[in-house]
Amino acid sequence: MKEHTLICVAGARPNFMKVAPLLRVLRCDRDFRSVLVHTGQHYDDELSGNFFRDLNLSAPDHFLCVGSGSHAQQTAEVMKRFEPVVIAERADGVVVVGDVNSTMAAAVVAAKLRVPVFHVEAGLRSFDRSMPEEINRLVTDAISDVLLVTEDSGRSNLLNEGIPEHRIHVV
């Protein structure tokens, strides 16, 4: 049986807390090879070591070193640096979390490469399009193949937006 490569992308500290349990499960399953990508959207060298240790995570497999910048700069840098990783790792799926610029950028890259996108925390809405995070949520959900919602409102929002029910999973 073929081993499936699943890339988990995180750009901000809260994203790591959400992918840590998934990575632990995947690393125990012989059918999957998990790859952790840290975009570096929010990065503090001093906190990084302790943070990974506290979450019982090994160092990221890829660190994109994106850093701060405007929304456009961050998004573009993640896309430029993430695309070669997806190609080199021969990804069978990409997991993105939340609503930061890294989430949307990685989802766009994967979708354009025809790699299935799994969005954790899909369907959450503020209904305020002046918030960059809301734009990231809307774009990411629109192009995700599997939408993992954490609350009933997320499911309702996605159904109201025309997302087929078979793509929505409450976790």
Q: What is the mean pLDDT of residues 37-51?
A: 75
Q: What is the mean pLDDT of residues 2-21?
A: 92
**What is the distance between the alpha carbons of residues 113 and 139, in angstroms, rounded to a whole number?**
16
Q: What is the pLDDT of residues 132-159, one digit of tens each?
A: 999 999 999 999 999 999 999 999 999 9
- Read off the pLDDT band of 44 (50, 70, 90): low
| Tokens coding 34 | 């998990």
Q: Does 3.40.50.2000 match the CATH number of domain 4-170? A: yes
- Read off the pLDDT band of 1 (50, 70, 90): low
User: In terms of DSSP H, where are the helices of the chain?
Assistant: 13-27, 45-54, 71-89, 101-112, 132-143, 152-160
**What is the distance between the alpha carbons of residues 150 and 42, in angstroms, rounded to a whole number?**
24
**What is the distance between the alpha carbons of residues 104 and 109, in angstroms, rounded to a whole number?**
9
Contact 153, 137 (CB under 8 A): no
Query: Which of the residue ranges 5-14, 38-47, 77-86 has the most confident prediction, judged by mean pLDDT?
Result: 77-86
- Lookup result for tokens 């302790």: 50
**What is the distance between the alpha carbons of residues 48 and 31, in angstroms, rounded to a whole number?**
29
Mean pLDDT of the chain: 94
Residue 99: per-residue pLDDT: 97
Helix, strand, coil tally for the chain in percent (to 5): 45, 20, 35
Residue 52: per-residue pLDDT: 80
Model confidence, pTM: 0.94
Q: What is the pLDDT of residues 57-77, one digit of tens each?
A: 888 999 999 988 999 999 999
Residue 43: per-residue pLDDT: 65
Q: What is the pLDDT of residues 91-122, one digit of tens each?
A: 999 999 999 999 999 999 999 999 999 999 99
| Tokens coding 110 | 């994967």
- Lookup result for tokens 């975009």: 39
